[in-house]
Chain A
């Protein structure tokens, strides 16, 4: 009998412990799908008088369904798949709460595909604004960040076109296409927060512009220095930058040869940014890039399969890539003095003592260092034909 009582108190104890666990839940707010507004894109900017301007693009699921299933074509206006609302506030949080005064349901931010920052916001610094995005539990850290050049985020989010019923998805997918071409950098929220926090690398954020009424274009990057916009890199410089940090996955590099133009397809690329040290002081910035390329298209005549041809090809491609990297590096050093390549993180990793001393002034030191750029090119294949249709006479 005694044993039985003891056993029962054991069960009670376990049940009690399980009950305590219920108190440990952080955020268990129950919200039904019909009670939330699914946010697809967020835009952040400042107004002229310094207030935060929040723009959200919210999905109307029912409208999406009618658009995709083709129902309701009989008459009346097609319901719009998304709506865009803006609100001003002293802080981001105030704007987010305030926007509830004009929309019907709570905003749900986890689904946001893109966060578009305005130029004016970047000119004044973005750290205060980003703080909210770090604190809030609803935010997806993997969301893409883009900077709007020449337009406000609101204008970009209001673009509608037929390619995708949700414009934010269209923006995200376009940006991802460009990333694989190497002319825009993909920056996620967590990357940006990490870069700003560590100070080892200055962030470079992809750039987005309006191209006509219905399209956007994502090419180039915005260079940030000390949380403020320092300037822009054009698509070619961006590709040089992407080669240097090893993020080019597939890109087309056109090279001129005497027989015509050749489009080289980059199929694999590795890049490493290091700093060479002499006597405890940095002496040179080294960038080492390894590239594997195929011949994609050849606008000339004659065969391409001889070793000589290929070695010439390699040399030209090497110089072309080197030129792009040099341009990007020079711009980052001379014009913006912003270490977007992440040399700082190499210094921090291998020369921590030195890094501690110069952490504050690293961008200045960086901009004065000479650079050594090495590009190693391999041409793998020339396509499935050996020579073009038009033969050399």
Chain B
């Protein structure tokens, strides 16, 4: 009850704040354009407060130069050459090629568009708000004196990164291309892989100030319509001034915002995103970032890599098991070491115990503090290595390995076995990049539990984690599927990766009640040519 009252108070406070927020920032320019060019330009200039990069070019055109026009665009976002070739030149010179007695009223935007402008992508705008929207996204606006309409001509061009190999998801075998900051390029990369009319791309604009383009990409006949509806709703309720990266969207649409486990996955690689779209998931492409969100997410996806499917199944399966082991080592390594050496020495073989004890003889800290210190040092090193420019980053490695590793052991501050434990933990933690943040946090939690209650504490922590994981949902999909709840067809792709020809169905939990779950015909197992095989089959 108390919680209910608190919530109510908080809610009403928020509401009040929200309302005032609305009136302060969201000025409405929902007024029509005027037929007077001078006045229109004055209004636009006053709204944009004479920003230096807004260019206004006034000119006269027509046979006897009796029409007055103006081009408004933002410098550096447009292709000036194209403007010259396709707007100015036709209006001012090509028009002279028309016979003088041709009666055309160039105060009508439609007539200009149809007869003079040689650009395909152009749009009529009548409202000031639409005009501003188009202008600010880089469109060139053509205003004509005497017309209540304006023409928005799309001749955008700005400096952008080309398609490069993504830095985060390197592969040995597989496509090297990655998304880039331009959402249109990203969408094109997806479209180029799925040549299917079913591929739907829905466009939304989120962010009151940034007006970021957000696209929902899915396969209409495969994706669960309820899932798409849910994504639309969740994205639709975002009222925020800016979306600078897909992470903003992720944090507004995830199922468990307080969980350390991510319920929305992301990728920079078109092949990976396409594979997931084909399984019935939906991708959310956000303009301005190469990271594309994919929902729903299963826990198991963190352990899968695109390369698993390109390589033959044997090594891929071993690698997947190694990834699982690495995750276990990276979260439990220091905790188990502390639990064993502080609480359960009897479980360590005597010879090993003696050498551990020999290493710890001069160490002045309790094991938990020793482990905590080393883990902390490792995390600092990692963070510093990421932030620093590459040439300096190498110095960090040397300082970390030599100064901290070797010197601290020789000074007797840290035992050599602890260095081994922490460094193997560190190496293992890089094998499962998708769970880096949950792994790092769990590592400290388990370490603390091991320090307080030994193996018992670790087991309690593990149980709590398991309970939490099995309670998680990502857009209605159980997070631990296909292990919990168990699914035989899904388990083919969990601990080992079965050959591609055995995986005939899409993950049933994602497409849910969709009928179209078969993605390949049965009996595709390759075999040598057989004489007696019936061809008609």
Contact of A33 among B1, B342, B351, B456 (CB under 8 A): B342
When the two chains form their complex, are residues B354 and A62 in contact, meaning their CB atoms are under 8 A apart? Answer: no
Given that A25-B456, A28-B453, A32-B367 are contacting pairs, would A61 and B342 also be in contact in the complex, using a CB cutoff of 8 Å? Answer: no
Separation of A5 and B359 alpha carbons in the complex (Å):
52
The answer to whether A31 and B342 touch across the interface, beta carbons within 8 angstroms, is: yes
Chain B contacts for A252, CB-based, 8 A: none
A113 CA / B351 CA spacing, docked (Å): 11
Q: Which residues of B contact A138 (CB under 8 A)?
A: 346
Cβ distance A63 to chain B, nearest Cβ, rounded Å? 8
Least CB distance, B532 to chain A, in whole angstroms: 52
Contact with B along A20-59 (1 / 0, CB 8 A): 0110010011111110101010000000000000000001
Q: Which residues of B contact A108 (CB under 8 A)?
A: 345
Number of interface residues of B (CB under 8 A): 30
Q: Is the CB of A61 within 8 A of B357?
A: yes
- Given A22-B453, A25-B453, A25-B456, A61:B354 Cβ within 8 A: yes
Distance to closest chain B CB from A236 (angstroms): 33
Set A8, A21, A25, A34: member contacting B361, Cβ < 8 A: A34
Using Cβ atoms and an 8 Å threshold, which residues of chain B touch A230?
none
Whole-angstrom distance between the alpha carbons of A33 and B346 in the complex? 11
A180 at the interface (CB under 8 A from B): no
Instruction: Contact check, B358 vs A111: say whether CB atoms are below 8 A apart.
Output: no
B343: which of A1, A22, A30, A166 is its contact (CB, 8 Å)? A30
Q: Tell me if A64 counts as interface (CB < 8 A to partner B).
A: yes
Nearest residue (CB) in B for A1 is B4
State the Cβ distance, B461 to closest chain A Cβ, in Å: 10
A110 within 8 Å of B (CB atoms):
yes
Please report the C-alpha to C-alpha distance between residue A31 and residue B350 in the assembled complex, in whole angstroms.
16
Pair B361/A62 contact, Cβ less than 8 Å: yes
With contacts A28-B343, A108-B345 taken as known, whether A38 is within 8 angstroms of B354 at the C-beta atoms is: yes
Nearest chain-A residue to B350 (Cβ)? A111
Say yes or no: B343 contacts A33, CB within 8 Å: no
A31, B343: Cα distance in complex, Å: 6
A residues in contact with B187, CB < 8 Å? none
Check A33–B367 contact: CB distance below 8 A. yes
A138 to B359 Cα, complex, angstroms: 23
Q: How far is the CB of A106 from chain B (nearest CB, A)?
A: 11
Q: Select one of B346, B350, B360, B460 contacting A21, CB under 8 A.
A: B460
Question: A residues within 8 A CB of B1?
Answer: 5
A105-145 interface (Cβ within 8 A of B): 108, 110-111, 113, 138, 140
Is A177 on the interface with B (CB-CB < 8 A)?
Answer: no
Q: Which of B1, B341, B357, B463 has the most CB atoms of chain A within a 10 A radius of its CB?
A: B357
Residues 285 to 314 of chain B near chain A (Cβ within 8 Å): none
B353 within 8 A of A: yes
Min CB distance B119 to A, Å, is 56
**Is A163 positioned at the interface, with any CB of B under 8 Å from its CB?**
no
How close is A83's CB to chain B, nearest CB, in angstroms?
Answer: 14
B contact residues around A166 at 8 Å (CB): 354
Which residue of the partner chain, among A14, A40, A110, contacts B345 with CB atoms under 8 Å? A110
A18 touches B354 (CB 8 A): no
Taking CB atoms, residues of chain A closer than 8 Å to B362 are: 62
Cβ B456 vs Cβ A28 within 8 A: yes
Chain A residues with Cβ below 8 Å from B351 are: 169
CB-CB contacts of A154-166 with B at 8 A, as 1s and 0s? 0000000000001
Known: A110-B346, A140-B346. A64 touches B358 (CB 8 A): yes
Interface size on A, residues (CB 8 A): 31
CB within 8 Å for A59 and B354 given contacts A28-B453, A33-B360, A34-B360 = yes
Residues of B within 8 A of A32 (CB): 341-342, 360, 366-367
Tell me whether A65 is interfacial, beta carbon within 8 Å.
yes
The answer to whether A61 and B361 have CB atoms under 8 Å apart is: yes
Minimum Cβ distance to chain B for residue A1 (Å): 6
Residues of chain A lying within 8 A (CB to CB) of residue B454:
28, 30
Q: B210: CB under 8 A from chain A?
A: no
Which of A21, A61, A140 is in CB contact (< 8 Å) with B358? Answer: A61
Q: Which of chain A's residues 200-238 have a Cβ closer than 8 Å to chain B?
A: none
- Chain B: minimal CB distance from A128 (Å): 25
A61 touches B355 (CB 8 A): yes
Chain A: CB-nearest residue to B347: A110
Taking a contact as CB atoms under 8 Å apart, the answer to whether A33 and B355 are in contact is no
Q: In the bound complex, how far is the Cα of B362 from the Cα of A62, in angstroms?
A: 9
Q: Is there contact, CB below 8 Å, between A33 and B350?
A: no
Chain A CB within 8 A of B3 CB: yes
**Within 8 Å of chain A (Cβ to Cβ): is B464?**
yes
The answer for the CA separation of A132 and B507 in the assembled complex, in Å, is 60
Compute how far the CA of A30 lies from the CA of B3 in the bound complex, rounded to whole angstroms.
40
Tell me the minimal C-beta distance from B329 to chain A in angstroms.
21
CB contacts (< 8 Å) of B453 on chain A: these are: 22, 25, 28
Residues on A with C-beta less than 8 A from B366 are 32
In-complex Cβ contact of A111 among B4, B346, B363, B367 (8 A): B346
Q: Is B356 an interface residue (CB 8 A)?
A: yes
**B460 x A65 contact (CB < 8 A):** no
Closest to A172 in B: B350
Residue ID in chain B nearest A111 by CB atoms: B350
Is A113 touching B342 in the complex (CB atoms < 8 A)? Answer: no
User: Which residues 464-479 in B have Cβ within 8 Å of A in the complex?
Assistant: 464, 467
In the assembled complex, which residues on chain A have CB atoms less than 8 Å from the CB atom of B358? 61-62, 64-65
Distance in Å: Cβ of A247 to nearest Cβ of chain B: 24
Which residue on chain A has the smallest CB distance to residue B370? Answer: A32
The listed residue (B345, B350, B367, B460) touching A18 by CB distance below 8 A is B460
CB A46 to nearest CB in B, in angstroms, measures 28
Residues of A within 8 A of B359 (CB): 61, 65
On chain A, the residues within 8 Å of B361 by CB distance are 34, 61-62, 65
- Chain A residues, Cβ within 8 Å of B4: 1, 5
Cβ-neighbour of A34 out of B3, B363, B460 (below 8 A)? B363
Expressed in whole angstroms, the Cα–Cα distance for A325 and B342 within the complex equals: 49
Tell me how far the C-beta of B108 lies from the nearest C-beta in chain A, rounded to whole angstroms.
60
Give complex CA distance A138, B345 in Å: 10
A77 CB to closest chain B CB (Å) equals: 18
CB distance from B244 to the nearest CB of A (A): 33
Q: How many angstroms between the C-alpha atoms of A277 and B1 in the bound complex?
A: 80
In the complex, which residue of chain A has the Cβ closest to the Cβ of B363?
A34
Within 8 A of A (CB), among B365-396: 366-367
Q: How far is the CA of A65 from the CA of B343 in the complex (A)?
A: 23
Separation of A62 and B354 alpha carbons in the complex (Å): 9
Which residue, of B351, B361, B454, has the highest number of chain A Cβ atoms within 10 A? Answer: B361
Minimum Cβ distance to chain B for residue A112 (Å): 9
Are B353 and A111 in touch, CB under 8 angstroms? yes
- Contact present for B357 and A113 (CB under 8 Å): no
| B353 A38 Cβ-Cβ under 8 A | yes
Could you say which residues of chain B place their CB within 8 Å of the CB of A28?
Answer: 343, 453-454, 456
Task: List the A residue with the shortest CB-CB distance to B471.
Answer: A11
CA A306 to CA B297, docked complex, whole Å: 76
Name the residue of chain A whose CB is nearest to the CB of B467: A14
Chain A nearest CB, measured from B79 CB (Å):
56
Q: Give chain B nearest CB distance to A23 CB in angstroms.
A: 11
Interface string of B1-33 (1 = CB under 8 A from A): 101100000000000000000000000000000
CA distance A33 to B364 in the complex (A): 11
Complex: chain B residue closest to A40, CB-CB: B350
A309 vs chain B, min Cβ distance (A): 47
Judge whether A64 and B354 touch: CB under 8 Å.
Answer: yes
A55-91 vs B, Cβ < 8 Å mask (1 yes, 0 no): 0000101101100000000000000000000000000
In order of increasing CB-CB distance, the 4 nearest A-B pairs are: A110-B346, A61-B358, A61-B357, A65-B358
A-B contact pairs, 12 of them (CB 8 A): A1-B4, A33-B353, A33-B360, A38-B353, A59-B354, A62-B362, A65-B355, A111-B346, A111-B354, A113-B350, A140-B346, A169-B351
* Partner-A contacts on B (CB < 8 A): 1, 3-4, 341-343, 345-346, 350-351, 353-363, 366-367, 453-454, 456, 460, 463-464, 467
14 additional A-B pairs beyond A14-B467, A33-B356, beta carbons within 8 Å, are A22-B453, A22-B460, A33-B353, A33-B360, A33-B367, A34-B357, A34-B361, A38-B354, A59-B357, A61-B358, A64-B354, A64-B355, A65-B358, A169-B351
